[in-house]
Chains A and B, each alone.
Chain A
Amino acid sequence: MSTPETDVGRIGEDPDAFETFYREHLDLVQRFVARRVTDPHLAADLTAEVFLAAIDAAASYRADRGTPAAWLTGVARNVVAAEFRRQKKDKDAVRRIAGRRLLDPDSLAAIESRIDSARESRRLYDALASLPRRDRALMELVAVDGLSVTEAAAVLGVKPGTARVRLHRSRARVQSHLTPLEVQP
């Protein structure tokens, strides 16, 4: 979760810098998406959307506020949340790059496998629906995505101490789902 050498500020203007960033974080993005959606075609679209959003937002990255991976996780959260809002409104998405168009049978199978592997994580993700939105976001990052409390706090822009308090409260509310999981310090 830490690639401090990445020059995020240049990924919006330098294809080589972007490729380095892409190779470093592709797995992170694909796993993040697979823990939240079950349709492989939508997963392909969202993977493309996350990187497009990162390219657009590259200038806003601040190294003193977190690692590139933490920042990209925040971008991915926003992209997936926007997709869910769009689905609720039953609107067709207009995508700049339709990731599903790039899928071949082997790539599709790989995404399906990744989605299948994330089944338990998605069950937990769904179980967090009862939490307030702010607490849910924190629990997602820690319990579903495996970030440390400090990393998740950086993604959400809160202090680690505040995050620990919220996590403690949230764990009590969904104890039955979270008992088997380790919360990293």
Chain B
Amino acid sequence: MNTFEQSLLTELREHVATRTPGPVRPTRSRRWRWAALPAAAAAAATAVAVAMWGPSAAYAVDESGDDVVVTVYRLDDAEGLEQALRDHGVAAEVDYDPDVSADPADSDGGTLDTGTGPEKGTEVHGPTGDDPGTGSAPKIETSLSEDAFTLRLDRDAIPEDQILHLTTMGSVEDGLSGLRIMWVPAS
């Protein structure tokens, strides 16, 4: 190795030695329960809400025909899901922060009204900042099952100048959480 290659190795070794691994969250055995169906699927921002009774698995990113299929089993390893999406050509930011506000004022493109309890889940409305009729955002198909939440993205419609944002709201521990799915311009 030349001087650059050796110096880079030295710095990267130091980086590995000092970096802090991501937090490992406890696995739960309870299953998702869905309380609401997705709304405004073809709008500039797509939002869905789910109510769940704790996570039981992780995630998967696969390809089906021309689609990229994302299956979320539990709210864990957000960075791993981001990387898996990048590996499939989708720039994404995933935030599994239970402290994220559900206040509509904090939303980048839509409003979200929470329900009154875990049984009722959340109710979500479409975006407010964009014209839903423009249809400029990539289409996202969503489906729900007892154990997982699935997004199906048309690969050919994924723009290079937008980032897929998946953001959860609420707390699994409280038995209720929301998941906001949006396309936002890369900054």
Q: Which residues of A contact B (CB under 8 A)?
A: 11-15, 18-19, 22-23, 26, 44, 47-48, 51-52, 55-57, 59-60, 71, 74-75, 78, 82, 85, 89, 96-97, 99, 102-104, 106-108, 110-111, 132-134, 137, 156-158
Contact = CB atoms under 8 A, between A and B. Distances in A.
B8 A102 contact: yes
Given A78-B86, A110-B2, A47 B8 contact: yes
28 contacts: A12-B16, A15-B13, A15-B14, A15-B17, A18-B13, A19-B13, A22-B9, A26-B1, A26-B5, A48-B8, A52-B12, A55-B16, A55-B19, A56-B83, A60-B83, A78-B86, A96-B15, A97-B8, A104-B4, A106-B3, A107-B3, A133-B89, A133-B160, A134-B66, A134-B155, A134-B156, A137-B89, A157-B88
A56 B87 CA distance: 13
Given A18-B16, A44-B4, 20 more contacts: A13-B16, A19-B9, A26-B5, A48-B8, A51-B8, A52-B15, A56-B79, A59-B79, A60-B77, A71-B87, A78-B86, A78-B87, A99-B8, A102-B3, A102-B11, A107-B5, A133-B89, A134-B66, A134-B156, A157-B87
Chain A interface helix/strand/loop/mixed:
helix
A12 B21 CA distance: 8
Contacts of B7: 102
Chain B interface helix/strand/loop/mixed:
helix
Interface in B45-72: 61-63, 66
B186 interface: yes
B19 A60 contact: no
Given A56-B83, A85-B186, A157 B19 contact: no
B104 to A, nearest CB: 29
Contacts of A97: 8, 11-12, 15
Interface string B105-129: 0000000000000000000000000
A8 B12 CA distance: 15
Given A14-B16, A78-B87, A59 B62 contact: no
A71 B87 CA distance: 8
Contacts of B79: 56-57, 59
B80 interface: yes
B156 A132 contact: yes
B161 interface: yes
A59 B19 contact: no
B144 interface: no
Most B CB contacts (10 A, CB to CB) among A13, A23, A60, A75 go to A60
Nearest to B155: A134
